[in-house]
Amino acid sequence: MEVQIEKSWKTVLQDEFEKPYFSIIVQTLKQEKAKGVTIYPPGKLIFNAFNKTPFEKVKCVILGQDPYHGEGQAHGLCFSVSDGVKPPPSLVNIFKELQDDLGLPVPHSGNLEKWADHGVLLLNAILTVRAHEPASHSKIGWEQFTDAVIRRISEEKAGIIFLLWGNFARNKKYLIDSDKHFVLEAAHPSPFSANNGFFGCHHFSRANELLKKQNKLPIDWRLE
């Protein structure tokens, strides 16, 4: 199947695109669109995380669950929103931790593209959602695809820092070879759980310390 995705990822994931489950994903999206269903993010942005962070540039992976389901919010990067869109509560808490950890100012925009440009793969486990219906595409096959993405990163790279926030993300830990990668776990940044271990986790500084120990350039977490 011909999938419009950044060329290094196309090479790494080509066998997944040929599997029956991926055809089901594509058919489901086409059928829903034909019925007039609004799906987020727009088609050209479904693989935005991959297009912004080529396989060879990945240093860190932040794992989200599924895209924001409000109009104009989702643009293919987990936790991120397009410029001009009010940052959702979880993202506000991420910015609070960023400020506490690194002393960086709270950004005016919730767009995390700069992180992606610096090697942070902002991966949702589910890559699409119906408008105003959270987790509505959780059963169409996306997790089989993104599980394969995590496995492939684990198998073919070394020294990647995985930031797993909340139980959903932490349940993906089994896909990662912890003998060759680093897994940092914390509570989800949602207002319902941020006080239970997300605030104070210092994952941004810890990730950079781990990169420096490998003689890799640290991530520039500034968004302003």
Catalytic site residues? 66
**Could you give the CA distance from residue 171 to residue 133 in angstroms, rounded to a whole number?**
23
CB atoms within 10 A of CB 173: 14
Nearest to 219, CA basis, from 90, 114, 72: 114
Q: Residue 62 phi/psi, 5° resolution?
A: -110, 125
For residue 158, give the 3-state DSSP assignment: coil
Nearest to 80, CA basis, from 121, 39, 51: 121
Consecutive H or E run containing 205: helix 203-213
**Could you give the CA distance from residue 145 to residue 112 in angstroms, rounded to a whole number?**
23
**Could you give the CA distance from residue 164 to residue 140 in angstroms, rounded to a whole number?**
23
Using the structure block, give the residue that is written with the tokens 């196309």: 10
Bridge partners for 210 per DSSP: none
